[in-house]
Amino acid sequence: MCIRDSINNEDKAMFRNVRRKTREISTEAAKQLLKTERRGILAVNGEDGYPYAIPLNYYYDEERNKIYFHGAMAGYKYDMIKLSDKVCFTVVGKEQIKNPDEQWAPYLRSAVVFGRCRFMENTPETMEILKALAMKYFPTEDIADKEIAASGKAVQMYEIVIEHISGKEVQEKLSLIHISEPTRRSYIS
């Protein structure tokens, strides 16, 4: 689903649809992955055309249509986002066995988000979002509050404004079937 709409076609973001429609999951299922999974992978445009992807903790706010994460106020990720705010964020769900006879070939769901990332100012609202992020990972509010008090002001909060989200489900055995015979043989041997 493309979130961003624009009257000016030059401004409109163009995102590819999932190629194999039979593997596509609904936008709601992709959002559910964003809500429930604990880690995602942020990909940014790196130096010399090399992408840079890093796993991180995050908080998804469906109502605001944003993903939040924290990091240092310096470093490679910070520098690359300063240069280009276009990012991709991917979440992979847990493997599922749907057929007991095919435990070797689990199903796997993923959600892919494209959006713009920005640095957040240190405001009371940002601190509320940091607390929501902390509560996703810490077992009690007391522990979350102590961590925020100890290092919250030294943290750079980031937000990704979601422009496009898609998701799919694949089964490993199906992936191998669609590979050419010579390539498949090289995987097996």
* DSSP calls for 96-152: B---GGGTTS-EEEEEEEEEEEEEPP--HHHHHHHHHHHHHHSSSHHHHHHHHHHHG
pTM above 0.85, yes or no: no
Question: Binning pLDDT at 50, 70 and 90, where does residue 175 land?
Answer: low
Segment 43-63, tens digit of pLDDT: 999 999 899 999 999 999 999
pLDDT average, residue stretch 162-185: 70
What's the confidence (pLDDT) of residue 145?
Answer: 93
* Contact yes or no for 70/133 (Cβ under 8 A): yes
What's the confidence (pLDDT) of residue 14?
Answer: 73
What's the confidence (pLDDT) of residue 153?
Answer: 75
What's the confidence (pLDDT) of residue 131?
Answer: 95
More confident residue, 104 or 49: 49
CA 172 to chain centre: 21
Question: Binning pLDDT at 50, 70 and 90, where does residue 104 land?
Answer: confident
Instruction: Give the span between the Cα atoms of 24 and 110, in whole angstroms.
Output: 10
Question: Binning pLDDT at 50, 70 and 90, where does residue 1 land?
Answer: low
Task: Tell me the backbone φ, ψ of residue 61, rounded to 5 degrees.
Answer: -110, 100
What's the confidence (pLDDT) of residue 84?
Answer: 95
Q: Which of 163, 149, 150, 158 is nearest to 129 (CA)?
A: 158
Cβ count within 10 A of residue 85: 16
**Mean pLDDT, all residues of the chain:** 84
pLDDT average, residue stretch 63-86: 95
pLDDT average, residue stretch 166-179: 68
pLDDT average, residue stretch 108-130: 93
- Full 3-state SS string of 33-84: HHHHCCEEEEEEECHHHCEEEEEEECEEECCCCEEEEEECCCCHHHHHHHHC
Statement: residue 183 has pLDDT above 80: no
Statement: residue 146 has pLDDT above 50: yes
Statement: residue 180 has pLDDT above 70: no
More confident residue, 138 or 176: 138
